[in-house]
Structure 1
């Protein structure tokens, strides 16, 4: 398991709720343990297992189905969920966002988001369930009245970054401490355990982009190389830029720049460039300055008009010529 050894997970893996090779039994038992859901089996051998432990108000689990599955739960409402693939991959559609989760990228699922999940065969995940009341209590201490409004998260949580690795380390620490919660075991001070629990949640509230943090005015600091890359893109929208070009002018390797965009912008450098080009094209078309759609497309670096129109409609829900026609 990438980043999570059997030794690290051992205290949790000893707390088995069930294992099963039966479809109906698996769906029923997972629903009872986590949340009612619709489960569609897509193929492969059922080899399901759920392990679960509680740490204060938090619930931590490992879950696998063995087979490929499609999962449709109702909105979470009463809790927030963090899904961390231990092995394999999953596609998580969270409202209008999609996370292609793997051992390097987890998903943070806020309450009240529509949710659909597709786990590939062999996918196994670590799940952290945080009660809504816990999040709200910590949020009010951290952000004051700002936390009275709805909470929404940017769902993709990169784990191959210093911030993501720190969160994994805290999760591993909690799992290591599970034996101290057993009856008869020497127990750490309750206030210290609660502090660890709160710190794990605070880490997400302060470091993972979310609506409370934004309303509190705590905008994340943009790394210098990321800012340089974005500035270079804006200044050279019409040029045939490559990832290597952008990385070189930002003073970073292509892989390092990609990690920066994934961590801070939840996208890739080239997708960010395309979004900048499309946004600029829309501004020009809405300005109604007389330029044709073709001239606008070429002016922001699109040499293929059909592809420009396709990307434009995908981003804005209408064709470029429709935007221009409304602008007059």
Structure 2
């Protein structure tokens, strides 16, 4: 694809994480950079390379294995992934759907889709990783309560039409800006960078068919016990809540409440509580320059600062201090 030539992607190719001709090293380094996975080597010579850049909460990579490979990462869980071959082809199985990915057809992989991939020899792909927390925060702004539902996408994203070409151009523009984020470089305004990041995600949410679009404005009322549980969580974020505590105040057993969260939120009650705490912490870090990261963590119920930072980065793609430094 001419628009994504190596010259065009030069700012990303200058950010090499590793290159290798060894199978074990390649599996270890890709697992560290992206996600644990099972990797079966097929025909061809190992000639692996990973390049990676970060733009706000987003991670953009190029990856090749050289050889033909079969990849089984299971569900992504904590992030959404867009894959588009720069060279070669790949077969991407998302649940019951199959995408024959080429430079003209990307794959949009939702966090909870079962996933298997087969890359032909010589395939090199551009990967865009979007943290689930960022996705959900923007989804709520765009679709309201509909974004509380599990997210699923139609996985085939055509890039050879005007809508796909526009998205491709946005990604290219983001990559061109990577050098401005290096230490010592003149840095554009943080609010403008975040606008670019958000717009790229909104493009996918508005233009690629998904469940949030489908249910926007038509979502049925939630079960009362689920609503009560979430209201109790929001009112007691700093308290040492347990599942029995939450269930009791919602008027349900722990088993029933867990089932309600799984059916309507695609998560568990305690994971939902952690997400609420982290979202609240992010809002505070962006809006109140006087409060410290430690105070924010304690205020939303995290007694262990290291664990708070780990969970925060997992959800938003950056550390709490980086949110503070960006100035919101």
Normalised-by-shorter TM-score class: 0.5 to 0.7
What TM-score do the two structures reach when normalised by structure 2?
A: 0.66
Cα offset, 1:72, TM superposition? 0.2
Question: CA separation in 2, counterparts of 1:5 and 1:106?
Answer: 16
The residue aligned with 1:136 is 136
Question: CA separation in 2, counterparts of 1:142 and 1:161?
Answer: 24
Change (3 A) 1:171 1:32: same
The residue aligned with 2:189 is 189
The residue aligned with 2:30 is 30
Cα offset, 1:82, TM superposition? 0.1
The residue aligned with 1:93 is 93
- SS where residue 213 of structure 2 aligns? helix
The residue aligned with 2:278 is none
- SS where residue 186 of structure 2 aligns? coil
Deviations 1:151-173 (A, max 9, x none): 00000000000000000000000
The residue aligned with 2:75 is 75
- SS where residue 185 of structure 1 aligns? coil
Larger radius of gyration: 1
Matched, 1:64 2:64: yes
Question: CA separation in 2, counterparts of 1:217 and 1:108?
Answer: 24
The residue aligned with 2:15 is 15
Question: CA separation in 2, counterparts of 1:183 and 1:105?
Answer: 35
Question: CA separation in 2, counterparts of 1:113 and 1:217?
Answer: 24
Cα offset, 1:217, TM superposition? 5.7
The residue aligned with 1:272 is none
Question: CA separation in 1, counterparts of 2:84 and 2:131?
Answer: 18
Deviations 1:128-179 (A, max 9, x none): 0000000000000000011000000000000000000000000000000000
The residue aligned with 1:148 is 148
| Structure 1: gaps (5+ residues) | 219-328
Question: CA separation in 2, counterparts of 1:111 and 1:35?
Answer: 12
Counterpart contact for 1:99–1:107, Cα < 8 Å:
yes
The residue aligned with 1:214 is 214
Aligned CA-pair RMSD = 1.0
Counterpart contact for 1:82–1:129, Cα < 8 Å:
yes
Cα offset, 1:126, TM superposition? 0.2
The residue aligned with 1:3 is 3
Question: CA separation in 2, counterparts of 1:110 and 1:61?
Answer: 18
- SS where residue 43 of structure 1 aligns? coil
Deviations 1:89-142 (A, max 9, x none): 000000000000000000000011000000000000000000000000000000
Cα offset, 1:3, TM superposition? 2.8
Cα offset, 1:201, TM superposition? 0.2
Matched, 1:119 2:119: yes
The residue aligned with 1:270 is none
The residue aligned with 1:173 is 173
Deviations 1:270-296 (A, max 9, x none): xxxxxxxxxxxxxxxxxxxxxxxxxxx
Cα offset, 1:2, TM superposition? 4.2
- SS where residue 8 of structure 1 aligns? coil
Higher RCO (CA 8 Å, separation ≥ 6 residues):
2
- SS where residue 35 of structure 1 aligns? coil
Aligned length: 218
Question: CA separation in 1, counterparts of 2:74 and 2:156?
Answer: 20
Question: CA separation in 2, counterparts of 1:206 and 1:184?
Answer: 36
Question: CA separation in 2, counterparts of 1:130 and 1:16?
Answer: 20
Counterpart contact for 1:17–1:50, Cα < 8 Å:
yes
Q: Which stretches of structure 1, 4 residues or longer, exceed 6 Å deviation after superposition? A: none
Counterpart contact for 1:39–1:69, Cα < 8 Å:
yes
Correspondence list, 1:241-320, <5 A: none
